[in-house]
Amino acid sequence: MSDVSRPSPAGVRTAAVIPAAGRGVRLGPGAPKALRALGGTPMLIHAVRAMAASNHVSLVIVVAPPDGAAEVKSLLDAHALPDRTDFLVVPGGATRQESVRLGLDALPLGYGVVLVHDAARPLVPVDTVDGVIEAVRAGAPAVVPALPLADTVKEVVPADTPGDPEPVVATPERARLRAVQTPQGFDRETLVRAHDTVTGEVTDDASMIERLGLTVVVVPGHEEAFKVTRPLDLVLAEAVLTRRRLNDGF
Site for Mg ion, rule CB under 5 A: 22
Residue from 19, 68, 145, 183 binding ligand CTP (CB under 6 A): 19
Q: Report yes or no: 147 and 181 within 8 Å, Cβ to Cβ.
A: yes
Residue from 4, 16, 17, 34 binding ligand CTP (CB under 6 A): 34
Minimum gap (Å) between residue 187 Cβ and ligand CTP: 22
> Which of Mg ion, ligand CTP, none lies near 154, with the C-beta cut-off 5 to 8 A by kind?
none
Q: Report yes or no: 105 and 117 within 8 Å, Cβ to Cβ.
A: no
How crowded is residue 168: how many other Cβ atoms within 10 Å of its Cβ? 10
Query: Of 21 and 241, which CB lies nearer to Mg ion in the complex structure?
Result: 21
Determine, following the binding rule CB under 6 A, whether residue 145 of this chain makes contact with ligand CTP: no
Burial class (CB in 10 A: 0-12, 13-18, 19+), 121: buried
Residue from 4, 16, 22, 61 binding ligand CTP (CB under 6 A): 22
Determine, following the binding rule CB under 6 A, whether residue 46 of this chain makes contact with ligand CTP: no
Burial class (CB in 10 A: 0-12, 13-18, 19+), 144: buried
Minimum gap (Å) between residue 103 Cβ and ligand CTP: 8
- Side-chain half-sphere of 187: how many Cα atoms within 13 Å? 17
Minimum gap (Å) between residue 97 Cβ and ligand CTP: 8
> Which of ligand CTP, Mg ion, none lies near 93, with the C-beta cut-off 5 to 8 A by kind?
ligand CTP
Beta strands in the chain, from DSSP E residues, in sequence order: 13-19, 37-38, 41-42, 57-64, 86-91, 111-116, 142-148, 155-156, 168-170, 178-180, 184-187, 216-220
Q: Report yes or no: 37 and 172 within 8 Å, Cβ to Cβ.
A: no
Site for ligand CTP in 98-137 (CB under 6 A): 99, 118-120
> Which of ligand CTP, Mg ion, none lies near 26, with the C-beta cut-off 5 to 8 A by kind?
ligand CTP
Determine, following the binding rule CB under 6 A, whether residue 20 of this chain makes contact with ligand CTP: yes
Residue from 15, 17, 21, 124 binding ligand CTP (CB under 6 A): 21
d(CA 23, CA 83): 30
Cα dihedral 227, 228, 234, 238 sign: positive
Residues that bind ligand CTP in the complex, under the rule CB under 6 A: 19-26, 33-34, 63, 92-96, 99, 118-120, 227, 229
